[in-house]
Protein backbone atom coordinates (compact mmCIF):
# COMPACT_ATOMS: atom_id res chain seq x y z
CA UNK A 1 0.00 0.00 0.00
CA UNK A 2 1.36 3.44 -0.94
CA UNK A 3 2.25 5.83 1.85
CA UNK A 4 -0.39 8.51 2.40
CA UNK A 5 1.19 11.93 1.88
CA UNK A 6 -1.62 14.13 3.21
CA UNK A 7 -4.42 13.33 5.66
CA UNK A 8 -7.23 15.88 5.86
CA UNK A 9 -9.37 15.80 9.00
CA UNK A 10 -12.77 17.53 8.93
CA UNK A 11 -14.96 17.61 12.06
CA UNK A 12 -18.69 17.61 11.39
CA UNK A 13 -21.59 18.46 13.68
CA UNK A 14 -25.01 19.10 12.12
CA UNK A 15 -23.37 20.28 8.89
CA UNK A 16 -26.15 19.46 6.43
CA UNK A 17 -26.34 23.02 5.13
CA UNK A 18 -22.64 23.04 4.20
CA UNK A 19 -22.73 19.48 2.89
CA UNK A 20 -25.59 20.34 0.53
CA UNK A 21 -23.44 23.15 -0.88
CA UNK A 22 -21.03 20.47 -2.13
CA UNK A 23 -18.05 21.14 0.13
CA UNK A 24 -16.92 17.50 0.07
CA UNK A 25 -17.07 17.45 -3.72
CA UNK A 26 -14.91 20.58 -3.75
CA UNK A 27 -12.35 19.05 -1.39
CA UNK A 28 -12.26 15.87 -3.48
CA UNK A 29 -11.92 17.80 -6.76
CA UNK A 30 -8.91 19.72 -5.47
CA UNK A 31 -7.12 16.75 -3.90
CA UNK A 32 -7.66 14.51 -6.92
CA UNK A 33 -5.71 17.02 -9.02
CA UNK A 34 -2.64 16.94 -6.77
CA UNK A 35 0.37 14.75 -7.45
CA UNK A 36 0.38 13.17 -3.99
CA UNK A 37 -1.62 10.49 -2.20
CA UNK A 38 -4.25 11.59 0.26
CA UNK A 39 -7.06 10.56 2.56
CA UNK A 40 -9.95 12.58 3.98
CA UNK A 41 -11.28 11.66 7.42
CA UNK A 42 -14.64 13.16 8.30
CA UNK A 43 -15.43 12.81 11.99
CA UNK A 44 -19.13 13.09 12.72
CA UNK A 45 -19.54 14.49 16.21
CA UNK A 46 -22.93 12.97 17.03
CA UNK A 47 -24.95 14.92 14.45
CA UNK A 48 -28.74 14.95 14.73
CA UNK A 49 -29.65 16.53 11.37
CA UNK A 50 -28.95 13.50 9.15
CA UNK A 51 -25.58 14.80 7.99
CA UNK A 52 -23.89 11.57 9.12
CA UNK A 53 -26.04 9.63 6.64
CA UNK A 54 -25.21 12.13 3.90
CA UNK A 55 -21.48 11.65 4.58
CA UNK A 56 -21.89 7.89 4.75
CA UNK A 57 -23.39 7.85 1.26
CA UNK A 58 -20.62 10.11 -0.05
CA UNK A 59 -17.90 7.89 1.41
CA UNK A 60 -19.35 4.80 -0.29
CA UNK A 61 -18.72 6.45 -3.66
CA UNK A 62 -15.35 8.02 -2.82
CA UNK A 63 -12.74 5.59 -1.58
CA UNK A 64 -10.21 8.18 -0.40
CA UNK A 65 -12.79 9.42 2.11
CA UNK A 66 -13.77 7.72 5.34
CA UNK A 67 -16.23 8.50 8.10
CA UNK A 68 -15.71 8.08 11.82
CA UNK A 69 -18.77 8.37 14.03
CA UNK A 70 -17.88 9.94 17.36
CA UNK A 71 -19.81 10.57 20.53
CA UNK A 72 -20.70 14.26 20.75
CA UNK A 73 -17.53 15.52 22.44
CA UNK A 74 -17.19 18.89 20.67
CA UNK A 75 -14.66 20.04 18.10
CA UNK A 76 -11.62 19.21 20.22
CA UNK A 77 -12.71 15.61 20.63
CA UNK A 78 -13.71 15.21 16.98
CA UNK A 79 -10.46 16.65 15.62
CA UNK A 80 -8.40 14.55 18.03
CA UNK A 81 -10.20 11.37 16.96
CA UNK A 82 -9.52 12.14 13.31
CA UNK A 83 -5.87 13.09 13.79
CA UNK A 84 -5.12 10.00 15.86
CA UNK A 85 -6.52 7.77 13.12
CA UNK A 86 -4.70 9.60 10.30
CA UNK A 87 -1.98 7.79 8.36
CA UNK A 88 -0.49 10.72 6.48
CA UNK A 89 3.05 12.06 6.43
CA UNK A 90 1.31 15.39 7.02
CA UNK A 91 -2.01 15.93 8.78
CA UNK A 92 -4.26 18.94 8.14
CA UNK A 93 -7.42 19.82 9.99
CA UNK A 94 -9.89 22.18 8.37
CA UNK A 95 -13.50 23.25 8.93
CA UNK A 96 -16.49 21.91 7.01
CA UNK A 97 -17.60 25.41 6.03
CA UNK A 98 -14.30 25.87 4.16
CA UNK A 99 -14.02 29.49 5.28
CA UNK A 100 -10.36 28.86 4.49
CA UNK A 101 -10.56 26.81 1.28
CA UNK A 102 -8.63 23.57 0.93
CA UNK A 103 -6.51 25.14 -1.84
CA UNK A 104 -4.68 27.18 0.79
CA UNK A 105 -2.78 24.04 1.83
CA UNK A 106 -0.47 24.82 -1.10
CA UNK A 107 0.77 27.85 0.84
CA UNK A 108 1.51 25.83 3.96
CA UNK A 109 3.19 22.66 2.71
CA UNK A 110 6.44 24.30 1.45
CA UNK A 111 7.35 25.39 4.98
CA UNK A 112 7.99 21.80 6.02
CA UNK A 113 11.01 21.96 3.74
CA UNK A 114 12.27 24.67 6.12
CA UNK A 115 12.00 22.14 8.94
CA UNK A 116 8.97 23.51 10.75
CA UNK A 117 6.94 20.95 12.69
CA UNK A 118 3.59 22.76 12.48
CA UNK A 119 2.29 25.32 9.97
CA UNK A 120 -0.87 27.24 10.82
CA UNK A 121 -3.15 29.43 8.75
CA UNK A 122 -3.53 33.02 9.88
CA UNK A 123 -6.12 35.63 9.03
CA UNK A 124 -3.98 38.35 10.63
CA UNK A 125 -6.33 41.35 11.02
CA UNK A 126 -8.39 40.29 8.00
CA UNK A 127 -11.93 39.22 8.90
CA UNK A 128 -13.57 39.65 5.51
CA UNK A 129 -17.35 39.80 5.81
CA UNK A 130 -17.37 39.28 9.58
CA UNK A 131 -19.79 41.36 11.69
CA UNK A 132 -18.28 43.76 14.20
CA UNK A 133 -19.21 41.46 17.08
CA UNK A 134 -16.98 38.70 15.67
CA UNK A 135 -14.14 41.15 15.06
CA UNK A 136 -14.44 42.44 18.62
CA UNK A 137 -14.46 38.88 20.00
CA UNK A 138 -11.35 38.00 17.98
CA UNK A 139 -9.38 41.06 19.07
CA UNK A 140 -10.42 40.70 22.71
CA UNK A 141 -9.36 37.05 22.67
CA UNK A 142 -5.98 37.98 21.18
CA UNK A 143 -5.38 40.52 23.95
CA UNK A 144 -6.50 38.23 26.74
CA UNK A 145 -4.58 35.29 25.33
CA UNK A 146 -1.41 37.36 25.35
CA UNK A 147 -1.98 38.59 28.92
CA UNK A 148 -3.22 35.37 30.52
CA UNK A 149 -1.49 32.56 28.62
CA UNK A 150 1.42 34.23 26.86
CA UNK A 151 1.69 32.22 23.65
CA UNK A 152 4.85 33.36 21.90
CA UNK A 153 4.99 34.79 18.39
CA UNK A 154 1.53 33.76 17.13
CA UNK A 155 -1.00 36.43 16.16
CA UNK A 156 -3.96 34.20 15.19
CA UNK A 157 -4.47 31.02 17.17
CA UNK A 158 -8.09 30.51 16.10
CA UNK A 159 -7.96 29.98 12.34
CA UNK A 160 -9.28 26.45 11.79
CA UNK A 161 -6.62 25.51 9.23
CA UNK A 162 -3.56 23.85 10.73
CA UNK A 163 -1.14 21.24 9.39
CA UNK A 164 1.35 19.06 11.24
CA UNK A 165 4.07 16.57 10.52
CA UNK A 166 2.32 13.25 10.99
CA UNK A 167 4.35 12.00 13.95
CA UNK A 168 4.19 15.42 15.60
CA UNK A 169 0.40 15.40 15.23
CA UNK A 170 0.03 11.95 16.73
CA UNK A 171 2.32 12.76 19.68
CA UNK A 172 0.73 16.16 20.33
CA UNK A 173 -2.90 15.01 20.14
CA UNK A 174 -2.20 11.90 22.21
CA UNK A 175 -0.83 14.18 24.91
CA UNK A 176 -3.83 16.53 24.59
CA UNK A 177 -6.24 13.61 24.89
CA UNK A 178 -4.42 12.34 27.99
CA UNK A 179 -4.56 15.79 29.58
CA UNK A 180 -8.34 15.72 29.19
CA UNK A 181 -8.67 12.09 30.31
CA UNK A 182 -10.30 11.55 26.94
CA UNK A 183 -13.01 14.01 25.93
CA UNK A 184 -16.28 14.09 27.82
CA UNK A 185 -19.63 14.02 26.06
CA UNK A 186 -21.18 17.48 25.70
CA UNK A 187 -24.63 18.81 24.84
CA UNK A 188 -25.34 21.28 22.05
CA UNK A 189 -22.70 22.91 19.88
CA UNK A 190 -19.24 23.06 21.43
CA UNK A 191 -16.62 25.03 19.52
CA UNK A 192 -14.27 26.22 22.23
CA UNK A 193 -11.70 28.95 21.67
CA UNK A 194 -9.60 27.15 24.25
CA UNK A 195 -8.95 24.17 22.00
CA UNK A 196 -6.66 25.98 19.56
CA UNK A 197 -4.97 28.02 22.28
CA UNK A 198 -4.26 24.95 24.39
CA UNK A 199 -3.06 22.97 21.38
CA UNK A 200 -0.52 25.61 20.35
CA UNK A 201 0.55 26.36 23.92
CA UNK A 202 1.20 22.67 24.47
CA UNK A 203 3.08 22.45 21.15
CA UNK A 204 5.38 25.31 22.15
CA UNK A 205 6.02 23.75 25.56
CA UNK A 206 6.89 20.46 23.86
CA UNK A 207 9.46 22.28 21.75
CA UNK A 208 7.80 22.08 18.35
CA UNK A 209 8.53 24.82 15.83
CA UNK A 210 5.49 26.65 14.46
CA UNK A 211 5.16 28.80 11.33
CA UNK A 212 2.21 31.15 10.87
CA UNK A 213 1.20 31.82 7.24
CA UNK A 214 -1.45 34.22 5.94
CA UNK A 215 -4.35 32.42 4.24
CA UNK A 216 -7.53 33.48 2.53
CA UNK A 217 -10.54 33.50 4.83
CA UNK A 218 -14.16 34.43 4.28
CA UNK A 219 -16.68 34.79 7.09
CA UNK A 220 -19.41 32.14 6.94
CA UNK A 221 -22.56 32.78 8.97
CA UNK A 222 -22.96 30.31 11.79
CA UNK A 223 -25.86 29.89 14.20
CA UNK A 224 -23.41 28.33 16.65
CA UNK A 225 -21.66 31.56 17.57
CA UNK A 226 -23.01 33.29 20.67
CA UNK A 227 -20.95 36.46 21.28
CA UNK A 228 -21.69 36.64 25.03
CA UNK A 229 -21.71 32.93 25.88
CA UNK A 230 -18.70 32.12 23.72
CA UNK A 231 -16.74 35.04 25.17
CA UNK A 232 -17.42 33.87 28.74
CA UNK A 233 -16.39 30.31 27.86
CA UNK A 234 -13.29 31.65 26.10
CA UNK A 235 -12.15 33.51 29.21
CA UNK A 236 -12.85 30.44 31.36
CA UNK A 237 -10.74 28.35 28.97
CA UNK A 238 -7.83 30.77 29.21
CA UNK A 239 -7.96 30.68 33.00
CA UNK A 240 -8.06 26.88 32.94
CA UNK A 241 -5.02 26.79 30.64
CA UNK A 242 -3.17 29.24 32.90
CA UNK A 243 -3.97 27.09 35.94
CA UNK A 244 -2.76 23.95 34.17
CA UNK A 245 0.39 25.77 33.14
CA UNK A 246 1.13 26.85 36.72
CA UNK A 247 0.62 23.23 37.79
CA UNK A 248 3.18 22.13 35.18
CA UNK A 249 0.76 20.00 33.18
CA UNK A 250 2.06 21.30 29.84
CA UNK A 251 5.73 20.75 30.57
CA UNK A 252 7.54 18.48 28.13
CA UNK A 253 7.43 14.88 29.28
Task: Please report the pLDDT score of residue 152 as a whole number.
Answer: 83
Task: Please report the pLDDT score of residue 137 as a whole number.
Answer: 63
Using alpha carbons, select from 85, 150, 161, 152 the residue that is nearest to residue 120. Answer: 161
Angle at the Cα of 222 (from 191 to 25), degrees rounded to 5?
95
Question: How many other C-beta atoms lie within 10 A of the C-beta of residue 155?
Answer: 14
Helix 74-85 to helix 166-179 angle, to the nearest 10 degrees? 140
Task: Please report the pLDDT score of residue 126 as a whole number.
Answer: 55
What does the alpha-carbon distance between residue 253 and residue 10 come to, in Å, rounded to a whole number?
29
Judge contact between 70 and 78, C-beta under 8 A.
yes
DSSP 162-184: EEEEHHHHHHHHHHHHHHTTS--
Task: Please report the pLDDT score of residue 176 as a whole number.
Answer: 94
Task: Please report the pLDDT score of residue 164 as a whole number.
Answer: 98
Task: Please report the pLDDT score of residue 253 as a whole number.
Answer: 59
DSSP 177-246: HHHTTS----SS----HHHHHHHHHHHHHTT--EEEEE--------TT--HHHHHHHHHHHHHHHHHHHH
What CATH number matches the domain at 6-246, 3.30.70.2860, 2.70.70.10, 3.20.20.150, 3.90.550.10?
A: 3.90.550.10
Write out the chain's pLDDT in tens, 253 residues. 589 999 999 999 999 999 999 999 999 999 999 999 999 999 999 999 999 999 999 999 999 999 999 999 999 999 999 999 999 999 999 999 999 999 999 999 999 999 999 999 998 655 555 555 555 566 666 667 777 787 888 989 989 999 999 999 999 999 999 999 888 887 766 566 689 999 999 999 999 999 999 999 987 755 555 555 666 777 888 889 999 999 998 887 5
Task: Please report the pLDDT score of residue 227 as a whole number.
Answer: 56
Amino acid sequence: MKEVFLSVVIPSYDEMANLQKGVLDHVKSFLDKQNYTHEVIVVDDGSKDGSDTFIEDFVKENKTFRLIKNLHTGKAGAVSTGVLSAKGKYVLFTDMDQATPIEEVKKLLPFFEEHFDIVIGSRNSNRKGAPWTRVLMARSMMLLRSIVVGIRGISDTQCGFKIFKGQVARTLFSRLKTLHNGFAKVSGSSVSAGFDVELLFLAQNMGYSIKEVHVSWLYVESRRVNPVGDSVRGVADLLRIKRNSLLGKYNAA
